[in-house]
Structure 1
Amino acid sequence: MEPCCNLEVDVNGEETFMVDKTIIVQYSGKFAKLFGKSNGARGKLKVVFNDFPGGSKGFEHMLRFCYNNGTTDITPSNLLLTRCAAEFMEMKESVAGVSNLLEQTEKSLQEINFWTWSGLLIALKQCQNLSLAADSSIVLEKCLDTLVGRLVLASETSPCPSTCSTDSSGIRFSCDSKSTESIKTNSARLTWWFEDLLFLSPLLVAMLVKSMVLRKLDHVVISRFLLYYQKAKFPNANTDEKCKIIEMVIDMHYNMDHNYVSCKTLFGILRVTLSLNISKCSRKKLESMIGSHLDQATLDNLLVPSPYGISYLYDVNLVLRFLKAFLHRGTGVVAPVQMRKVATLIDLYIAEIAPDPCLKASKFLAIATALPDSARDSYDELYHAVNMYLEVHDHLSQEERAKICCGVNYEKLSPQSCLHLSQNSKFPSKSAVQALISQQSKLNNSLRATPNKTPFNNSPCSSSGAAQRGEKDKISEQVVLGDENIDLSVDNEKLRAHLQGMQCRVTELEKICLKMQSQMEKITKAKVSGSSNARSLPKLCS
């Protein structure tokens, strides 16, 4: 009996199908409910679908099943369309011992491990096109899990799954065309699949990467793929699309082990974001990651131009945020070695920004005092940067100069820097006095640690020692008592002479210590030789 076309079906306005209502009703629960009470109706009926999943192609796959006595050829290229159509048409009940369409798609999905690589990619593309369909998530999850499993296996064994082939649809994938020579290299073994997955949307790439992280795929390889994806997608993307791509790249790197993400990679991502208005959340994540790697950064990395509307040359606020992230990262206490590396880097940065005439004193002071005092063994570099800043910004008030100079720890200045400071009119007078007293205090500590028999009276530099000590005591007393009337303009020459005398005494101390060490070595050798002859000890100081 020839089927009659007594039902007109309009599918999403794409195409109209003339079908036999009797045939469709016995497989579709939706149509059975719709026409259950109208079997006696005469003439043609019409049904209009505005939201049929997969459109006309999905409806056509469903029709093939109905008109072929409940059987159809399900492949990776039509599985999702057929499954979504079966779910929509409520084809869940078996008819006359024949399995329903939904059961057949489920059986085909269970054989996903036997699909070819290109079949997996086609199924993923279908999932991407039907991302709003309720049933697409099940197929998508299966496809992603299988694909990641292939990649994990490929990274351990061969550069391409054994099931790779060119799909019958004629689509050619890069995996299928790899030469024997190229796959021998380690790079090809790890990255052969990059080109094949460029069709994925940022949303699906994010899902894929999360699955990769869970399956413990090499994070270095994942990072390389994300950067490859971003670089390949950017040329043809608009501004909004670029923001979505780079935000996805940042978020995925943030979810990975930060130890496997290089500092160079992060600053490369940062340069891309400078011209884009990405979300505050993603920007904060990127700055946090950079902060955790700040000890690996270089001066060139930090010299980021200021954003539009900011007068000063470099983005000091950005570096301050890096420092905050470095000091408060989640790994706990910062190692001293890392702290010193960052302090050295920041001193170089401060020296670079100091000559900027537009840089506010508050910003300069913030970057100069951002690190704790323990981060620096010497404040010489910071002192010279402060000196340069004061020289360029000669319009600053005495109060502003005093605040900036407070960033320098005078106890950690070398004698040479202290001597320079004593003659530096750009620094407040109290700063020079503090530096001199700090140096005198260090010298006194050295003297206490030296044997009392040290013959300073014979030192060539001690002829004016009493006068210098008297001058030192006078200055120290004035500072301790808070004397505001210290006239350094008059006493500068005496201060310089005093400091030079201190340096000379330190030099003499070093010579005496070397002589003592030499004589102690002779004593030790004599004891080791086992000599029984009584010998007088050598004089320590001739």
Structure 2
Amino acid sequence: MWESESDSAARHEYGDGILTSSKHGVPTEGFIQRGHSWYVATDIPSDIQVQIGEANFHLHKYPLISRSGKLSRIIYESREPNLNKIVMDDIPGGFEGFELAAKFCYGIAVDLTAGNISGLRCAAEYLEMTEDLEEGNLIFKTEAFLSYVVLSSWRDSIVVLKSCEKLSPWSENLQIVRRCSESIAWKACANPKGIRWSYTGRTENISSPRWNNNNNDIIIKDTSPNRIRHQLVVPPDWWFEDVSILRIDHFVRVITAIKVKGMRFELIGAAIMHYATKWLQGLVTDTSILCDEKTSNCSISNSNNNNSTTSSSGNSWNENGLHMILVGTRDENSNLQAKEQRMIIESLISIIPPQKDSVSCSFLLRLLRMAIVSKVAHALVTELEKRVGMQFEQATLSDLLIPCYNKGETLTMYDVDLVLRLLEHFLVQEQTESSSPKRMSFSEKHMACNLNAKARVARLVDSYLTEVSRDRNLSLTKFQVLAEALPESARTCDDGLYRAIDSYLKAHPTLSEHERKRLCRVMDCQKLSIDACMHAAQNERLPLRVVVQVLFAEQVKISNALSNTSLKDVNESFTQPMVITNRKTLLEGTPQSFQEGWTAAKKDVNTLKFELESVKAKYLELQNDMENLQKQFDKMLKQKQSSAWSSGWKKLSKLTKMTTVQNHDDVLPHNVEASAEQNRKTTRRWRNSIS
């Protein structure tokens, strides 16, 4: 461990951390431990026993009462005249701290270190070892060691603050936590000229960092045996790893002190992200969130778990504090770990710097997902949502795909309502910045930035709609509200929105004609590119009215393009080079957002063309079959009509014959004689002619 000059002087003055008492009434050579019992190595028998948990100390009254006000008061105010046992289970520092305090009372040399000083200081305060009983008592000497040795050392301040985790509230009341936090903050922020210290992660055989006065960067010098000196720039995040071993409440104290010192908010945000990545394993990419459907308890598992941090000098700092690896059990241990995780998330949200780009939007969204899973306070979740809205244009699609954990309503795959709230916060923030007086002087530049941000958000929302539209439980109303949340000026091209609508129609084939028309109203056909218009014109899932609008918009664009081309050069308006130039111009006018996502859509276009040709062929076959059937039907109909007329004429002829026969029967008696006479005349004539 590297030390400053004042650090070395303090160690020289205080005997390098060795405490002794000049007065002691019982000569002894030290303590002897037998199992859980400690005995004083002396010929004088002990007359008092101090019990701390399972540990028993067999001591003498006089050395204790001469330096401890609490033990003196207990012994003299006791109603038992021969008190020989005292139970002190509530002493801070446990039996380790009491052992060191008892050794000091007997005049045995005590080695003060950064690991035991906080426990010994709290134990001395508990035992009331003040200057009123003896000059140079334990409280005075431990305070001096803390002030002049520990607080002047970077690593010792970290170790002492880490050891204070088991000493609450004594370490808080004695200002040990506050002083260590301020010492760490001062060393992390200030420019300590001439002071050197070690830190975790430094290169071996290289000394502690020193500040470069020219550019305020830390530099280090090589002290390897070859003595080749070369300067290496220490990264600005050199203190992240050391501070990240602290418990969350102490980490918050350090970050708060660093904010007061004036460190850049980007470094503070980076330190918070480093701490969250280390303690919240759910933020790491190789973790998985598992939810128990019966208990609705979510757990986080990670295969790469490391519970200790090793410094560059080979010393291992055991992290006995929080272990944020949650398992899917329902015992008390898992519930305690879930509470600790929720406390970490809430604390980190509260200390994030208010500046816009202090932390990344991806980190905020991952933290928001864990906050929802851990059921963090609603006010903090709302605050985190507002922070995401401030830099929503930096988000990515993978970060927005947050599962829906609200099982009260219709369960959708992703939390669409959350994304809608984030979008609303973004629009409110944009409106606030636009109307801010400070921005009026930079109105043109600010308007351009706002348009670019809105355009990026529009592309992001369209991609999100395309992804969530595959969910069959997503209602048409939610899709429409999210698509119409952005103003019309945010989208210069509606190709992404068209892809989302087409994907929704694929996943919801049972939509009625009215619902399909309602869905397509969110899209402006005039903002579609030529390729999108070609795809939409052959899309059978779209309503017929929308297809007509798309075709009309396409014709208008082609007419405008041709008219503009003819105005430029009338003589070459119909030549091949001009057609190529016109096509190139149209392609350049297509937005980049559509060109990036249209590669996959072209495959769908080719598939739809093939399907359309197949449908056309089938339609022609069916049309021919329909014509043949119609001809057969007409032929059969004519046959039926002709048969009806013939049957009618047959009936009419029968009726005529019957009438003729009846009339013949009626006139037969009158005509018999006439016919006979006629026959006779004919015969006579024939006969006459023969003759």
TM-score (norm. length: structure 1): 0.66
8 Å CA contact retained: 2:536, 2:547: yes
Equivalents in 1 of 2:402, 2:421: separation in Å?
A: 13
Displacement of 1:299 in angstroms is: 3.4
* CA deviation profile, 1:433-482 (whole Å, cap 9, x unmatched): 8x59xxxxxxxxxxxxxxxxxxxxxxxxxxxxxxxxxxxxxxxxxxxxxx
Equivalents in 2 of 1:200, 1:508: separation in Å?
A: 70
Equivalents in 2 of 1:200, 1:501: separation in Å?
A: 67
Equivalents in 2 of 1:110, 1:197: separation in Å?
A: 20
Equivalents in 2 of 1:198, 1:501: separation in Å?
A: 63
Which amino acid is 2:183 matched to?
A: T
Q: Which residue of 2 aligns with 1:366?
A: 481
* CA deviation profile, 1:27-63 (whole Å, cap 9, x unmatched): 3333343344679x86453222121111222223333
Q: Does 1:144 align with 2:241?
A: no
Map residues 182-201 of structure 1 onto 2, 5 A cutoff.
Answer: 185-186=232-233, 188-201=234-247
Equivalents in 2 of 1:392, 1:114: separation in Å?
A: 65
Q: Which residue of 2 aligns with 1:321?
A: 421
Change in 2 beyond 3 A, CA 1:419/1:109: closer
Unpaired stretches in structure 2, ≥5 consecutive residues: 1-23, 27-43, 208-218, 221-230, 282-304, 308-322, 327-336, 435-449, 571-691
Equivalents in 2 of 1:299, 1:311: separation in Å?
A: 21
For residue 277 of structure 1, the aligned residue among 360, 374, 380 is 374
Displacement of 1:247 in angstroms is: 1.4
More strand per residue: 2
Which amino acid is 1:510 matched to?
A: N
Q: Which residue of 2 aligns with 1:344?
A: 459
Q: Identity over the aligned pairs, expressed in percent?
A: 27
Change in 2 beyond 3 A, CA 1:38/1:275: closer
For residue 69 of structure 2, the aligned residue among 29, 41, 45 is 29
Displacement of 1:138 in angstroms is: 0.6
Map residues 73-222 of structure 1 onto 2, 5 A cutoff.
Answer: 75-95=113-133, 98-112=135-149, 115-133=152-170, 138-153=175-190, 162-164=196-198, 174=200, 178-180=204-206, 185-186=232-233, 188-222=234-268
* CA deviation profile, 1:238-275 (whole Å, cap 9, x unmatched): 3126834861684266345341322344456567x399
Change in 2 beyond 3 A, CA 1:21/1:212: same
Q: Does 1:332 align with 2:432?
A: yes
Q: Which residue of 1 aligns with 2:101?
A: 62
Which amino acid is 2:68 matched to?
A: S
Q: Does 1:295 align with 2:399?
A: no
* CA deviation profile, 1:342-369 (whole Å, cap 9, x unmatched): 1122223323444444433223213212
Which amino acid is 1:339 matched to?
A: K
Displacement of 1:315 in angstroms is: 4.3
Greater shift after overlay, 262-271 or 76-85? 262-271
* CA deviation profile, 1:54-82 (whole Å, cap 9, x unmatched): 1222223333443349x977554443223
* CA deviation profile, 1:214-260 (whole Å, cap 9, x unmatched): 32334444444444444445425431268348616842663453413
Map residues 446-525 of structure 1 onto 2, 5 A cutoff.
Answer: 506-507=560-561, 509-510=563-564, 514=568
8 Å CA contact retained: 1:127, 1:136: no
Q: Which residue of 2 aligns with 1:522?
A: none
Greater shift after overlay, 287-296 or 340-349? 287-296
Give secondary structure in 1 for the equivalent of 2:48. Answer: strand
Change in 2 beyond 3 A, CA 1:250/1:429: farther
Unpaired stretches in structure 1, ≥5 consecutive residues: 165-172, 437-495, 517-542
Q: Which residue of 1 aligns with 2:59?
A: 19
